Structure 1
């Protein structure tokens, strides 16, 4: 079952706005549940990379607790400038835009990262959150990248 999860995630990411690269993984208990850390570049802002850490359930956990096809919504994010900044054609309204997503279940739940531009403070805001068909989730995390006094190119 554990080998099917990466394949399902890979298929779900084909439709995602950006592709992540796994840069770390570790087990956090004796049954094999783990934390995966992925990095992805912001597709609309060259020079920004976000790292997302999220929980991954083990086969033992899935067998003993059921709910086979779903991972928890818990996630954390950190975004940093990793090169010269170049801002492309990004959404600048207050809703921003989703720039990354991956499924946490077969149908009903996904993890998403939304970028919002704070013009007044010259800051890019990144929010990681869970999207669910039937109900929203209050499990969110936020990271920011300031462009104040930066030599930012427009693309």
Structure 2
């Protein structure tokens, strides 16, 4: 038990998501869920993540009880002052992760700082234990000259 607790404490702290809306897409109750995810490290950037959530009726009829599709879309915007001073350019960092199946599959958002072009890149993708997935979506946030940290900052 102590080893499990220690392992959980060592995981990076990821942003929590706030559900903004659910959009019904059919008569059996499948939805597209839209969540707001604030970047916990940079601050001043909020991403809106959309993904498909299967209904109980769909799960019963399809026989795949414990898994949602990996498809997602992401759009990010500057919503306040941005500080990139602690970021390492070109290094993908976890911002958000949410399970998409009982085990082994998750929807992730990673941040990559392009220091040369003064842009934050946010990549939403599926992560699976045994097979990678080509399903992804990307959004960029151009940084103003007054963003804290990096070249061009005051």
| Pair in the same fold by TM > 0.5 | yes
Task: State the superposition RMSD in angstroms.
Answer: 1.6
Distance 1:108 1:35, change over 3 A: same
Which residue of structure 2 lines up, in the alignment, with residue 121 of structure 1? 117
- Give the secondary structure class of the aligned counterpart of 1:21: strand
| d(CA) in 1 for partners of 2:147, 2:77 | 15
**How many residue pairs were aligned?**
139
Which residue of structure 1 lines up, in the alignment, with residue 148 of structure 2? 153
| 1:23–1:37 CA contact under 8 A, matched in 2 | yes
| d(CA) in 2 for partners of 1:22, 1:88 | 29
The 4+ residue runs of structure 1 with deviation greater than 6 A are none
Unmatched 5+ residue regions in structure 2? 1-10, 150-154
- Give the secondary structure class of the aligned counterpart of 1:46: coil
Deviations 1:30-79 (A, max 9, x none): 11100000001101111100000000000110000011011000000000
Which has the larger share of strand? 1
| d(CA) in 2 for partners of 1:69, 1:144 | 32
| d(CA) in 2 for partners of 1:140, 1:81 | 21
Deviations 1:111-131 (A, max 9, x none): 000100111111000000000
- Give the secondary structure class of the aligned counterpart of 1:60: helix
Corresponding residue to 1:143 among 139, 145, 148:
139
Q: CA deviation at 1:153?
A: 2.1
Unmatched 5+ residue regions in structure 1? 1-13
